[in-house]
Structure 1
Amino acid sequence: MDARIVRYGDLRPCKTAFIDAHTPGSNQKENFTIIGGGVSESPDQHVHIRDTPGFNIGAAGQPPKCRNSLHSHRTAEVFFVLKGRWRFFWGRWGNAGEVVLEEGDIFNIPTGIFRGFENIGTDYGMIMAILGGDDAGGGVIWAPQVITDAKDHGLVLGRNGKLYDSKKGQSLPEDVPPMPLLTDEELKQFLEPTTRDVVPEFVARYWDLMALSDRQPAKVIGAEGALKDRPGFEVELLSRNSIPDEFHAHDRHVVLMPMRGHWRLRYDNGPETVLNPGDTALVKPGERHALAPSMTGEASLYRVIETADPAGLTRRLA
């Protein structure tokens, strides 16, 4: 059981995970790869659990005013805010639309748009990420200006998806060309949706979900969810009265991600432990387990369940 739990306090960050790691304004980011290989471009990235249950789990930690540069993925990218206050923005230049998320809010970002995010709170912030597919979509697609700016600060991305840092004496191998910038024709494939296009169908607010989680799990992402999408996994929010404290099992992988409070996880005829906010636990198919808050007070937990939907794809706006 311990081998499939990653504690918040044990998370190992990488500060050079992506091409904007030296770019002013983005150079204080910390990236975490929790379950699966993730999309890091750096060999320095530590992977906590390499098993991939059909999706990847990661996180980003940033101090105030630090931002993640504009990029896109080929598969689903879902964030919920664990700590802090965050602004998400999107579009070719990041000015097509934006939304501010508070702690517990969740954002299922549609594919086919460039997106970025920044910590607009007053303290170090943390967002948890769910990336669709076993290979997390094959990497990151960067807006052209991100690659150009990074080169001015010593980082070059190879066509092989790996970073080379001139500050460490590295350079592109002779047989590896630089990652080409997207052409004008390719850029036309990326959408420019407004805030009104995105927020109603792709953002769910924590306190709305908490209200819906009384006496049953709140369906967040899935065919029956508040966000009706099928990206290769379903997401539910559990609170104190959502499920009985009884042993049960799922026929697919489940990931438990506490948001608030402390949760007791027990295995049938086996060990038990307590999960805390920021912890991540992987439960394998068929494992009988029970889950319940272990203390009084506010308690909430995001539960991610693998589905048979193909390739971790999320909905693309028309």
Structure 2
Amino acid sequence: MRESMMKKLPEITLAFWVMKIAATTLGETAGDLFAQTLKLGYFLTTIALFALFVGTLVVQLRSERYHPFHYWTVILSTSMAGTTIADFMNRDASEKYLAAGATSLGWGPQGLGLGYPAGAAILISLLLVIFAVWKASGLPFAIGEINTFRGEALFWSAILVSNTLGTSMGDFLSDSSGLGYAGGALLVTALLGVLLALKYVPAVSNVLLFWFAFVLTRPLGATAGDFLTKPSAKGGLALGTLGSSIVLLGVLFALMAYAHAKERRNRVAMLEPVALGGRHR
């Protein structure tokens, strides 16, 4: 009974990945909205969004069952926080990262200016440390088998770091690789296609494929978000961070409502045989 009560993570289906990409794309546009459009800067925005992540995580950890709104708000908050954490680590106050005519962005440090390779190396090292601790704990890696508080805490730690790493990868592909937003998105989509093909190879671990796919869907969301918001001169659609964020939030809430309705139907279907059995007794 305790295992079923503590199992609070969703099944990995096509709908899961669609919602993940929608959430990560919104995380990119919303993070840029606060940090750049509203000029709060990476430092203040990172503090605020990390606090939001902690708040949504507390709600998720205190839940006794899987609740789509709880789960996906944490995914969204890790995506937004990951966007500004990565930007703060990788960028600086140079004109390349500021709006035309701007000399600063918000209060506090403008960015550490580590660059994408150094930032990615730090994040990959941190992710490996989390997985090493996870492995040493003896707790399962498979999302369908995570049913303890410690396991879920490790899972969300890995999610936050992987979303931050994915942002760095997406920004590198969009800004520095020469591929541009569309080219970067096509490359990541191709890599995800390779992972999908490997899913049918018995020797390849599905758990390993899940984590690779989870990291790669973040740069897909990052490049898609940049493609929606950046000016046409840089290869984007120039829809703006506010308009894009509103549309994406509507899409994500619609998907969460669908997932919530489906989860309720599943619970009712599971309870009906128990109720019928009780009447027969």
TM-score interval w.r.t. the shorter chain?
A: under 0.3
TM-score where L is the length of structure 2: 0.27
Q: Give the TM-score taking structure 1 as reference length.
A: 0.25
Which structure is higher in helix share?
2
Task: Kindly indicate which of the two structures has a greater share of residues assigned to strand.
Answer: 1
